[in-house]
Structures are given as structure tokens and as C-alpha cells.
Amino acid sequence: MNNDHNELITVFETLNPVDLSIAKSILESENIPYFAKNEFLRNTVTYFGLTPVELQVGERYVPAALELLEDLIKAQS
């Protein structure tokens, strides 16, 4: 069975816990399942610095998630 359509894609990345909560809330309000990669490491300093949390969604949800998070992503730039 081909699992290419089950690949998780990062659609949002942040060190800011408020932005993370907002992004999660947006995805949840639209019933988009997500995985918060590194969520329990976000306050951990590694050799490379602080570890950002990455919100990841399945490939089929990427376009919708990016559209929903567009303003939040732009605000980080």
C-alpha cells in the first residue's frame, strides 16, 4: 500500500506559544487534524538554539491549512 498520501507536511512553525495556540485553534475549528511536532521540546535549548514547534497536517489538508493560517504566517514574517 502506498502511504504517500499520509505524509505529514509542516504548515506552521513557531517559538511563540500564543501563536501556536491560535494556529491550533484555527485548525481545530475547521476539523483539520494536526500533529504538533516538538511541542514538548519547545522550551528546550539544543545545540542549534530553541526548538520551534511545527504544526503538521496530512497532504490532503495542506491547501486548506495554509489558507486558514495565511494571516498568522504573514504576521511572523
- How many domains, in total, are found in the chain? 1
Domain region containing 47: 4-76
At 8-60, the pLDDT tens digits run 999 999 989 999 999 999 999 999 999 999 888 756 666 667 788 999 999 99
Question: Going by DSSP bridges, is the β-strand pair 8-14/35-37 parallel, antiparallel, or unpaired?
Answer: unpaired
Q: Are 53 and 13 in contact (CB under 8 A)?
A: yes
CATH number for the domain spanning 14: value is 3.30.70.790
Say yes or no to pLDDT of 77 above 90.
no
- Residue carrying C-alpha cell 496530512: 58
pLDDT of residue 2: 46
* CB-count exposure of residue 57 (10 Å: 0-12, 13-18, 19+): buried
User: Among residues 72, 17, 47, which one has the least CA distance to residue 27?
Assistant: 72
pLDDT of residue 24: 97
Per-residue CA distances from 75 to 3, 16, 22 (Å): 34, 12, 12
Say yes or no to pLDDT of 76 above 50.
yes
